[in-house]
Amino acid sequence: MEVALAILVGCFFALSIYLILSLHTIRILLGIAILTNAVNMSIFTAGRLTREVPPIVPDGSYVPLEATANPLPQALILTAIVISFSLFAFVLVLVYRAYQELGTDATTEMVEAEPPHEPATPRGY
């Protein structure tokens, strides 16, 4: 089960990097969304996938008597979901405003925003 999920996470990372390297801002936005989901799935996979009992310590004991679920990956994923949603909302508004101002979503055509008296930005490395 963990191997299949690890392969799926790898596919998500590959797809997100492919989309982020695109020339269109909508694809970049989708790549960011898929990247955040891939990170959440990798944290989830790192936190064990076995079914465990709740992490409740019985009275008169200092530690649980049997193996329990790890609450740390769940807390990290909840925090990451909130952060990724806010990042997605910010980038969505940024892309929408850029489209309104420039009339295009292609990053190669967004050079109109550069000052005309400055030297041109590099188009490659």
63-76 pLDDT, tens digit each: 877 777 777 888 88
- Torsional sign, CA 36, 89, 77, 50: negative
| pTM over 0.85, yes/no | no
Mean pLDDT computed over 72-82: 89
What is d(CA 39, CA 21) in angstroms, rounded to the nearest whole number?
18
What are φ and ψ of residue 53, in 5° steps? Answer: -85, 160
Q: Class for domain 2-50+69-111, per CATH?
A: mainly alpha
85-97 pLDDT, tens digit each:
999 999 999 999 9
Query: How far is 25 from 104, CA to CA, in rounded Å?
Result: 9
* Mean pLDDT within 30-40: 94
Statement: residue 44 has pLDDT above 90: no
User: Is the pLDDT at 30 greater than 90, yes or no?
Assistant: yes
pLDDT value, residue 106: 87
CA distances from 74 to 65, 87, 116 (A): 21, 20, 50
Calculate mean pLDDT across residues 88-113. 86
